[in-house]
């Protein structure tokens, strides 16, 4: 019989049984048992193909039981097997949930939005400048400035008369 709660943690096996410790074992007992079993089943020490599979299971069980938060979730899942969906949600949230600080995400989002805002404002500014350059008043002013600069006209009234002719 496969318990649904342990199937998401240690597949069909019980993590405590894999490490050959009791459920109330402390962290040092779990660590000692893991090291003892890893020496026995490690693929470099034991060439048997089954020992490699056993070692992977033992390593997975140790990863679950060495972390207090994950172990607490596992113990809760064993104690409350009727809450399968809740236990699965806790497991997947812990393993695949958000691991980035929300402040950094918010800062990055604000930075990107500020960049888009700047580019939008710059494009609107360029568009406004292009529209102004197409107006007759702007063109007349440019011609007057050119005549003043290159035509040696010092009187602006004379320059505007020359432009309007």
Give per-residue pLDDT as tens, 55-98: 999 999 999 899 898 899 888 888 887 887 887 888 777 777 77
Rounded to 5 degrees, what are φ and ψ at 3?
-80, 130
Residue 1 has pLDDT above 50, yes or no: no
| Average pLDDT of the chain, as a whole number | 85
Shared domain check, 89 and 15:
yes
Q: 135 pLDDT band (50/70/90 cuts)?
A: very high
How confident is the model over 92-120, as a mean pLDDT? 89
Question: What pLDDT does 12 receive?
Answer: 78
Count of structural domains within the chain: 2
Shared domain check, 70 and 125:
no
pTM for this model (two decimals): 0.55
Neighbours of 150 (CB within 10 A): 8
* Domain carrying residue 41: 4-96
Shared domain check, 21 and 72:
yes
Question: What pLDDT does 2 receive?
Answer: 44
Shared domain check, 77 and 36:
yes
């Amino acid at each position: 019989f496969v318990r649904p709660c342990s199937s998401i943690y240690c597949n069909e096996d019980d993590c405590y049984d894999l490490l050959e410790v009791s459920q109330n074992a402390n962290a040092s007992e779990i660590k000692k048992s893991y090291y003892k079993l890893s020496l026995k089943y490690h693929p470099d020490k034991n060439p048997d193909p089954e020992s490699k599979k056993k070692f992977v299971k033992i390593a997975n069980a140790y990863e679950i039981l060495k972390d207090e938060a994950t172990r607490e979730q596992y113990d809760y899942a064993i104690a409350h097997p009727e809450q399968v969906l809740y236990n699965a949600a806790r497991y997947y949230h812990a393993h695949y949930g958000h691991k980035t600080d929300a402040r950094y995400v918010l800062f990055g989002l604000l930075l990107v939005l500020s960049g888009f805002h700047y580019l939008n404002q710059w494009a609107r500014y360029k568009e406004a400048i292009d529209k102004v350059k197409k107006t007759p008043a702007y063109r007349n002013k440019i011609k007057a400035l050119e005549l003043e600069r290159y035509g040696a006209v010092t009187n602006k009234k004379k320059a505007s008369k020359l432009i309007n002719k």
